[in-house]
């Protein structure tokens, strides 16, 4: 059985084809900068080495067509017939409060997804276009939607509500949704295996630190709070996102600056020009930040300190919310690869029983690994995330249930 995982971003399509018998990737790649002259297509299969070339693709439909046609290509391809694909799993960024779990795509589901466009205007229309394009290319093959927000549907009301007039919740569905749910689902299951304890007995704090970052408190396998909110802007400081700020700053900017009068400009400011990039005035990329820190750049040092401090505050808050923790888990680009960030986050958290083994932390590895001291009450674990595999498994589970 093969599962194709498709992730349509605002201007990209990423895909992975899995052989589900052994859960191995057999083809993967991406098309980026869709609709722009610099669009490119990068792909690899178990048969062919990575290749990258410029392509002309006007929209998500053309991108999906290109990908599927190449998977079927006699020379470059990896499957001989579309019927080899049993299910397609689509990553969907925002399910709003309509979707609390993965669903099989039907006409009704597509209409409901359209209702979630306003809540994720960059992502959900792209997902929709991807779903329609896949249906056209792979008629009769079931598609499943796996939502980044679904894992967080267990968060209680007092944690997901904002203290705005209640109307805004009822009418506009303004509430915390949370993101990186599929990643949290995957790493929490792996943590249970590594800790050799049932997931439904564990208290976990996860730090998914990538370009977008979020911290999540998980009790007995269920999310009880997460740092991202109505959108992926809330929470810790990120590459280009400001994370938590006093919302009155927005009113101030509107009042003081003619250029900050519309939602798009303000959203761009907070989502694309802030965070590490905004404070350091250098880069959104942690690798550049770490290089410049060692070179003594003060603004970069400040940006690094702010990012680490914001993570530390959420980790500590969630320790309190959970009334303890069995493990702190680091994942995603920064969480998996950046020893200095992990060290700075864990420093002086021994009051909570969080004690990092500094030497183990420095060892480079792509494997799952414990990096806490043997005395640490809270185990510290690095777990490489695998959202694609989780989506493939979920998709298979959903069609199994629908047969
Ligand atoms: P996304 O949120 O886009 O999925 P990723 O999980 O790929 O992002 O993480 C991207 C971040 O990971 C970038 O800030 C990048 O600098 C950081 N990163 C990747 N490799 C390393 C590394 N070896 N050391 C430090 N940071 C790294």
Atom in ligand 1 nearest the alpha carbon of residue 289: 16
As beta bridge partners, residue 29 has 15, 43
Picking from 265, 260, 9, 237, the residue whose alpha carbon sits closest to that of residue 120 is: 9
CA of 334 to the centre of ligand 1 (A): 5
Is 286 touching ligand 1 by the criterion CB < 6 Å? Answer: yes
* pLDDT over 90 (residue 9): no
CA of 98 to the centre of ligand 1 (A): 31
What is the fold of 2-147?
A: Nucleotidyltransferase; domain 5 (3.30.420)
Neighbouring residues of 367: CB distance < 8 A, sequence distance ≥ 6:
384
Residue nearest to atom 13 of ligand 1 (CA): 285
| pTM for this model (two decimals) | 0.94
Supply 234's token pair: 């809330």
Residue 262 appears among annotated catalytic residues: no
Residue range 138-187, pLDDT digits in tens: 999 999 999 999 999 999 999 999 999 999 999 999 999 999 999 999 99
CA angle (29, 338, 307) in 5-degree steps: 105
What is the fold of 196-387?
A: Nucleotidyltransferase; domain 5 (3.30.420)
CATH 3.30.420.40 domain span(s) along the chain: 2-147, 196-387
pLDDT of residue 402: 57
Q: What is the length of the chain? A: 403
* pLDDT over 60 (residue 403): no
Question: What sign results for the dihedral spanned by CA atoms 134, 390, 173, 270?
Answer: negative
CA of 333 to the centre of ligand 1 (A): 3
Is 338 touching ligand 1 by the criterion CB < 6 Å? Answer: yes
Alpha carbon distances (Å) from 94 to 114, 163, 178, 230, 367: 11, 22, 9, 10, 30
Picking from 19, 327, 325, the residue whose alpha carbon sits closest to that of residue 189 is: 327
Neighbouring residues of 189: CB distance < 8 A, sequence distance ≥ 6:
199
Among the listed residues 148, 185, 225, 326, the single catalytic one is: 148
* pLDDT over 60 (residue 217): yes
- The rounded Cα 150 to chain-centroid distance in angstroms is 12
Q: How would residue 116 be classed by pLDDT, with cut points 50, 70 and 90?
A: confident
Residue range 104-115, pLDDT digits in tens: 999 999 999 998
Supply 84's token pair: 């080899």
């Amino acid at each position: 059985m093969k599962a194709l995982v498709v992730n349509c971003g605002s201007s990209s399509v990423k895909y992975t084809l899995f052989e589900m018998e052994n859960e191995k990737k057999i083809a993967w790649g991406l098309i980026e900068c869709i609709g722009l002259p610099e669009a490119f297509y990068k792909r690899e299969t178990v048969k062919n080495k990575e290749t990258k070339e410029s392509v002309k693709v006007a929209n998500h439909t053309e991108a999906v067509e290109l990908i599927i046609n190449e998977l079927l290509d006699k020379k470059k391809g990896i499957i001989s017939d579309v019927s080899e694909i049993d299910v397609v799993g689509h990553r969907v960024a925002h399910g709003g409060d309509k979707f609390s779990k993965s669903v099989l795509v039907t006409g009704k589901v597509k209409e409901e997804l359209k209702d979630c466009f306003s809540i994720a205007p960059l992502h959900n229309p792209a997902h929709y276009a991807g779903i329609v394009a896949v249906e056209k290319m792979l008629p009769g093959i079931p598609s499943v939607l796996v939502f980044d927000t679904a894992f967080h549907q267990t968060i209680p009301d007092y944690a997901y509500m904002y203290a705005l007039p209640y109307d805004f919740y009822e009418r506009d569905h303004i509430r915390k949704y949370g993101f990186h749910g599929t990643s949290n689902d995957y790493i929490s299951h792996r943590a249970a295996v590594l800790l050799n304890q049932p997931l439904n007995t564990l208290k976990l704090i996860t730090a998914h630190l990538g370009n977008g970052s979020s911290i999540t408190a998980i009790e007995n396998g269920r999310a009880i709070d997460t740092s991202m909110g109505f959108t992926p802007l809330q929470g810790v400081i990120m590459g280009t996102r400001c994370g938590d700020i006093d919302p009155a700053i927005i009113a101030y900017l509107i009042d003081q600056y003619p250029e900050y009068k519309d939602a798009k400009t303000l959203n761009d400011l907070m989502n694309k020009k802030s965070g590490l990039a905004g404070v350091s005035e250098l880069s959104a990329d942690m690798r550049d930040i770490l290089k410049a820190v060692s070179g003594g750049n003060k603004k970069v040092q400040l940006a690094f300190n702010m990012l680490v401090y914001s993570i530390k505050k959420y980790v500590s808050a969630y320790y309190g919310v959970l009334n303890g923790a069995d493990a702190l888990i680091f994942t995603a680009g920064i969480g998996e690869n950046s020893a200095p960030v992990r060290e700075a986050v864990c420093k002086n958290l021994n009051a909570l029983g969080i004690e990092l083994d500094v030497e183990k932390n420095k060892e480079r590895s792509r494997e799952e690994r414990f990096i806490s001291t043997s005395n640490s009450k809270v185990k510290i674990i690095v777990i490489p995330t695998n959202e694609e595999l989780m989506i493939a498994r979920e998709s298979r589970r959903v069609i199994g249930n629908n047969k």
